[in-house]
Amino acid sequence: MQDLDVTLVQATLRWREPAENRAHLQRLVLEADTAADLVVLPETFTTGFLGDAGTEAERMDGETVAWMRDLARASRAAVCGSLVVDDGGVRYNRFVFVPPEGPLRHYDKRHLFAHGGEDDRFAAGKERVVFEWRGWRICPQVCYDLRFPAWCRNRGDYDLQLFVANWPDRRIRAWDVLLQARAIENQACVVGVNRVGADGNGKLYPGHSAAYDALGEALVAMGEAEGCATVRLDAGRLAEVRDRLPFLADADAFELLG
C-alpha cells in the first residue's frame, strides 16, 4: 500500500436533471485541478434522492457510466458515486466504481430508507462488497448503511470505507458522529461524501463531508459550502495504528443471515 489521495466532491444536485448534474460535477472536479487517485461523488448524483420518479433509470452501459469512464480518464483517477440503475428490470440504488482503465465494480445499497419510501422504489442489495484500488482494500456503502454497524464491521478485509449520501440537515449530527465511530471501531480510514442544497421535495442537505483516520481523527471536514477537498490517506499511519493497537484481533466472530 502507498498513500492514497482522495477528492471529496460536495455538490449541489439538480432535481431530476442527469445531464445538468453530470456537467456540473465535471466542472467541479476538473476546476479543482488536484491530482487524486480517487474521486468520490454523492449518492444519486444524477437525480437527487428519489428524484428518479418519472425518469428512465440508467443502465450499466448507459450515459452516466460512460461519462464516469470519460471523467476517470480525464482526471486519471477512479470515479465513484451512486445512481439509480435498472438491472434486469429491477431498480437499485447502486454505488458504481469506475477506474480509468479496466473493469468497473458496483455495490447495491443494502439498507433502504423505508421511512422515506425508498424500499418501495428499489430492491435491496444482498452482497457486501470489498474491492482493491491502488493497493487499498475498499468497502463501499450508501447513506443509510452508515446506521448499521454489523453490516459495516471490518472483518479484517478492508482498509478504507466509503460512504456516499444524501443526508438531510435534521439528522446531520448522526452523520458526523457515526462516520467517526465507524473509523474508530473498525480501525480503518473512513470517507463520507454528502450533498448540499435543497432537493425537489424541499429537504435541505448541509454537506459535512469528511475523512477520518483509523483513530477517528478528522483529516478533513468540509462544512456546508459546495466544493472539492482532497485528502491524503497515510498508508504507513494506518499500518502503525493497527500494529500498535491490534484491537480487531479481539472482535467477536459472527455471521450475517438474511
- Checking if the pLDDT of 257 tops 80, the result is no
pTM for the model: 0.97
For the chain, give the percent of residues with pLDDT over 90.
Answer: 93
Q: Say if CB 93 and CB 112 are below 8 A apart.
A: yes
Q: How far apart are CA 94 and CA 59, in angstroms?
A: 11
CATH H-level, domain 4-248: superfamily: Carbon-nitrogen hydrolase (3.60.110.10)
C-alpha cell of residue 225: 459550502
Nearest CA to 94 out of 104, 204, 103 is that of 104
Give Dmax over CA atoms of the chain in angstroms: 53
Task: Establish whether 143 is a catalytic residue.
Answer: yes
How much is the average pLDDT of 62-67?
A: 98
How much is the average pLDDT of 156-161?
A: 97
- Checking if the pLDDT of 254 tops 90, the result is no
Q: Where are the domains of the chain?
A: 4-248
Active-site hit among 80, 139, 143, 189 = 143
Task: Establish whether 203 is a catalytic residue.
Answer: no
Task: Establish whether 132 is a catalytic residue.
Answer: no
Give 124-146 pLDDT, tens digit per residue. Answer: 999 999 999 999 999 999 999 99
Average of per-residue pLDDT values in the chain: 96
Q: How far apart are CA 29 and CA 27, in angstroms?
A: 6
- Per-residue 3-state assignment (H helix, E strand, C coil) for 64-107: HHHHHHHHHHHHCCEEEEEEEEEECCEEEEEEEEECCCCCCEEE
- Per-residue model confidence (pLDDT) at position 236: 98
How much is the average pLDDT of 176-183?
A: 98
Give 108-128 pLDDT, tens digit per residue. Answer: 999 999 999 999 999 999 999
Give 75-97 pLDDT, tens digit per residue. Answer: 999 999 999 999 999 999 999 99
Question: CA-based Rg of the chain, rounded to a whole angstrom?
Answer: 17
How sure is the predictor about 253, in pLDDT bands with cuts at 50, 70 and 90? Answer: confident
Q: How far apart are CA 39 and CA 188, in angstroms?
A: 19
Q: Say if CB 161 and CB 188 are below 8 A apart.
A: yes
How sure is the predictor about 53, in pLDDT bands with cuts at 50, 70 and 90? Answer: confident
- Checking if the pLDDT of 176 tops 80, the result is yes
Active-site hit among 58, 109, 139, 189 = 109
Q: Say if CB 106 and CB 143 are below 8 A apart.
A: no
Phi, psi for 155 (deg, rounded to 5): -100, 30
